[in-house]
A and B are shown apart, each in its own frame.
Chain A
Amino acid sequence: KAGVTQTPRYLIKTRGQQVTLSCSPISGHRSVSWYQQTPGQGLQFLFEYFSETQRNKGNFPGRFSGRQFSNSRSEMNVSTLELGDSALYLCASKQGASSYNSPLHFGNGTRLTVT
């Protein structure tokens, strides 16, 4: 089974621009979560989608948004980029609503650099 696939792997953007990151979950997985990883804050939860619905969102500004499609693929969008948005963005998928017996599987992330 193919793992979680994230594209692109690297991205360089300028302050004020917007960016869209893409994630293809493991086949059969209906839940997709996004995490931001920075040296200063570590791994932080952004949001989770399950069956095309955002189930919850972490403590991030409204510039961060996402969506999930009927095939479970997900995108996240960051608008009006700031320097502090530079980070590794990780997508993770799991089969059901709970991690019990189906832990989160992560992709290798998209490294976003904002200049």
Chain B
Amino acid sequence: GESVGLHLPTLSVQEGDNSIINCAYSNSASDYFIWYKQESGKGPQFIIDIRSNMDKRQGQRVTVLLNKTVKHLSLQIAATQPGDSAVYFCAESNFLQGGSEKLVFGKGTKLTVNP
């Protein structure tokens, strides 16, 4: 396929607002999903995960919602802070032959928090 820079979806919010980042996944057999945050110059950092037998899971200021019917994940960040500015990736876990597992990552959403 064409190899150009990924045009990341972007989301710009005001400090203190809630943020919602959406992700569509591809494999209906995937049963485990993870959200990662990647700041500039760093590797992806684990935020929160959810198994397919759940619809919702809450962490500290973050909530993940899973809709298996439409293969959709969302990450909600409450009271967004400037430190939340980063690229956010969803990932679905696919098990491979031999028992190995790989994560299939979405293209990411760039969140910018304005002070």
Contact = CB atoms under 8 A, between A and B. Distances in A.
Interface of A: 4, 33, 39-43, 45, 48, 50, 55-56, 58, 84, 90, 92, 97-100, 103-109
A107 B42 CA distance: 8
The 9 closest A-B pairs by CB, nearest first: A106-B43, A55-B100, A56-B100, A40-B3, A43-B105, A39-B5, A45-B102, A56-B96, A108-B43
Contacts of A100: 32, 51
B9 to A, nearest CB: 12
Contact of A48 (B6, B36, B102): B102
Interface in B1-41: 3-6, 32, 34, 36, 41
B93 A99 contact: yes
Given A43-B89, A50-B100, 16 more contacts: A4-B43, A39-B6, A41-B3, A48-B101, A55-B98, A56-B98, A56-B102, A90-B44, A97-B100, A99-B49, A99-B101, A100-B51, A106-B44, A106-B45, A108-B42, A109-B43
Interface of B: 3-6, 32, 34, 36, 41-46, 49, 51, 89, 93, 96-108
Given A56-B100, A104-B103, A106-B44, A99 B34 contact: yes
A78 to B, nearest CB: 18
B101 A98 contact: yes
Given A42-B108, A48-B102, A58-B102, A103 B43 contact: no
Contacts of A92: 43
Contacts of A41: 3, 6
9 contacts: A40-B6, A48-B100, A56-B100, A97-B99, A97-B100, A98-B93, A104-B34, A108-B42, A109-B42
